[in-house]
Amino acid sequence: MFDLLLTNGLVVTPSGAHPLDIGISRGKIVSLRATGLGSPDEALRVVDLRGQLVVPGGVDPHVHTNSVLPTAAESGIKCFGPDRVSEGAIYGGTTTLVDFAHWQPGDELADSFKRKSAEWEGNTYTDYALHGTFKEPEIPFEVLEQIPDAVAAGHGSYKVWMTNTTPTRPKQKTDLGNMWGLMEQTAAAGAMLAVHAEDDDIVMYAYKKLQHQGKTGLEYMHHAHNNLSEKLSFQRAITLAEHVGAPIYLMHVSAREGVDAIREARGKGQPVYGEILPHYAYFTAEDYRQENGAIYHTYPSLKSADDRDSMWESLLDGSLSTLATDGVCTDLEVKTRGRTILDATGGHAGVEMRMAVAYTEGVAKRNLDLTRFVDITSANAAKILGLYPHKGAIAIGSDADLAVLDTTVDRRITSADLHEADYTPWEGYRVAAWPSMTVLRGQVIVEDRQLQAGPEGTLLEQHVSSDVRNRPAC
């Protein structure tokens, strides 16, 4: 007897899209068979998903919660916590979020994971994992040496910054030497290293020059966070990774130069993975000129139409691997307080729209294959961060995390449809798919746009496979 049987949906498995019935017991997928072969009596509950698309619950590998917003540092304003962000995610068909556990000087590495996990536990509608995160110029050897134990305990990914991002923020850059040491440890321990790559020298000089010229409006953001910075920093990070033999995950690729650097490294067999943000694949730096242009901004920055187009080329040809949000959820008033290159808040509310935008822009507009849609919205992030195949696959034995999408819709989305903030950069955006049900480990959490169950998400262990660590596997 199944706990739940989902019948008649078009189900996207690793081998393609097929009409299948999905049998679920104790939170796992235990049966996949051709539609119509079973009897409804076999399950406590049967849901007919005729005409609906069923894909693995989304995995968003890059969200921030409860972070003090650097530009609002004096007031101590933080972005929203796991409760709000995970609510948006689960409504949007995403069932796993990956946040950041900041190591602070004086911490044992394990303390940073415990501290961040305490913020999530009991407050999340999705499952979650945590990138160990270093925002310090130097990482002491004693801390680096704790990485193997942390990896063995299931903390399989880390993040580091190559820039302080703006001249006005608290310092967060780790220099290349310390990054080298960090890479040696993560590679040896079998972990993935995520990198915020920007060339600090170029970015800080560009800020100085723009300030000198009086060009500090938001519309100059891409002159500070520019293509040269992306080219130099990606090449340096990739060269260092090649020297060490380390797998790396380059977050928020924003320029054609970044795409090219990743494509070239992967062509040589290097395990380098790239992440795209939906708005980098849709908006351009011209949108900074709109009223409330800040709502489109995430660091590094939006760039030209050619850069935007390179995002989709690379998602279609497989050079880049994931679609993340870099979600930093606040209300509009907070998001638009900063209106210059010096004080704009990065990140925005986008978690709930990610799956629908990926389907609309990818599948509906560009003929993206359905398995590739799954790759970029869940499977690849799960593989790169060591969550696969528990997450990111509709397969026997996988967690029953499912997003059901109604692909017959044609509607415009407004912020009133959404849950993570009081605004959306996608206001008025016309979707070709909209989530109708989200299932987490066999439990229906959202149905007919209503929450059905409480926040019972749990911390996931990450164990990155040797395949992913040794070659560009996805």
Q: How far is the CB of 251 from Zn ion (least distance, A)?
A: 5
Nearer to Zn ion, 335 or 390 (CB): 335
Q: Which is nearer to Zn ion, 190 or 346 (CB)?
A: 346
Q: Is residue 198 close enough to count as binding Zn ion by CB under 5 A? A: no
Which burial class, exposed, middle or buried, applies to 219 when counting CB atoms under 10 A from its CB (0-12, 13-18, 19+)? Answer: middle
Structure-token match 């090449």, residue found: 235
The answer to whether 326 contacts Zn ion (rule: CB under 5 A) is yes
Q: Pick the closer one to Zn ion by CB: 307 or 326.
A: 326
Burial bucket for residue 222 (CB in 10 Å: 0-12, 13-18, 19+): buried
Beta bridge pairs of residue 367 = none
**With respect to Zn ion, which residue has the nearer C-beta, 65 or 398?**
65
Question: What is the size of the binding site for Zn ion (CB under 5 A)?
Answer: 2
**Minimal distance, residue 394 CB to Zn ion, in Å:** 29
d(CA 382, CA 474): 10
**Of 46-54, 193-201, 382-390, 452-460: span binding Zn ion (CB under 5 A):** 193-201
**Any idea what the Cα angle at residue 111 is, between residues 106 and 116, rounded to 5°?**
120
Find the shortest distance in angstroms from Cβ 378 to Zn ion.
19
Helix then strand then coil, % of the chain, to nearest 5: 35, 25, 40
Among 41-49, 75-83, 195-203, 238-246, the segment contacting Zn ion (CB under 5 A): 195-203
- Interaction between residue 135 and Zn ion (CB under 5 A): no
Place of tokens 């389907």: 359
For position 87 contacting Zn ion by CB under 5 A, the verdict is no
Residue nearest to Zn ion (CB): 196
- Residue 308 interacts with Zn ion (CB under 5 A)? no
Q: For residues 211 and 284, give the distance between their C-alpha atoms in angstroms, rounded to a whole number.
A: 22
Both tokens of 22, joined, read 């999905």
> Is 249 or 426 the residue whose CB approaches Zn ion more closely?
249
Q: How far apart are the first and last CA of the chain?
A: 36
Which of these ranges, 199-207, 325-333, 413-421, 422-430, lies near Zn ion under the rule CB under 5 A?
A: 325-333
Least separation in angstroms between residue 98's CB and Zn ion is 11
| Residue 366 parent element (H or E) | helix 365-366
**Amino acid (1-letter code) at residue 95:** T
Among 196, 256, 297, 303, the residue binding Zn ion under the rule CB under 5 A is: 196
Q: Which residues contact 194 (CB under 8 A, 6 or more apart)?
A: 62, 131, 157, 158, 159, 160, 248, 249, 250, 251
Q: Are 54 and 403 spatial neighbours (Cβ–Cβ below 8 Å)?
A: yes
Cis peptide before 247 (omega within 30 of 0): no
- What are the φ/ψ torsions at residue 297 (nearest 5 degrees)? -90, 135
The closest of 27, 28, 34 to 11, measured between CA atoms, is: 34
> Is beta strand 4-13 parallel, antiparallel or unpaired with respect to 16-25?
antiparallel
CB-wise, 173 or 196, nearer to Zn ion? 196
**Interface segment toward Zn ion; rule CB under 5 A; list 75-83, 206-214, 326-334, 424-432:** 326-334
Q: Work out how close the CB of 161 gets to Zn ion at its nearest, in angstroms, rounded to a whole number.
A: 7
Binding range to Zn ion, per CB under 5 A, among 206-214, 321-329, 351-359, 395-403:
321-329
CB of 349 to Zn ion, least distance (A): 14
> C-beta of 163: minimal distance to Zn ion in Å?
9
Residue type, 26: R
C-alpha–C-alpha distance, residues 299 and 383, integer Å: 25
Q: Is residue 399 involved in binding Zn ion (CB under 5 A)? A: no
Complex with Zn ion: residue 155 or 390, whichever CB lies closer: 155
- State in angstroms the smallest separation of the CB of 183 from Zn ion: 17
Select 196 or 231, whichever has its Cβ closest to Zn ion. 196
Binding mask 162-191 for Zn ion (x = CB under 5 A): ------------------------------
For Zn ion, the closer CB: 13 or 226: 226
Amino acid identity of residue 137, one-letter, is: P
To the nearest whole angstrom, how small is the minimum distance from the Cβ of residue 327 to Zn ion?
8
Task: Give the up-direction half-sphere exposure of residue 176: CA atoms within 13 A in the CB hemisphere.
Answer: 17
User: Residues in the site for Zn ion, rule: CB under 5 A?
Assistant: 196, 326
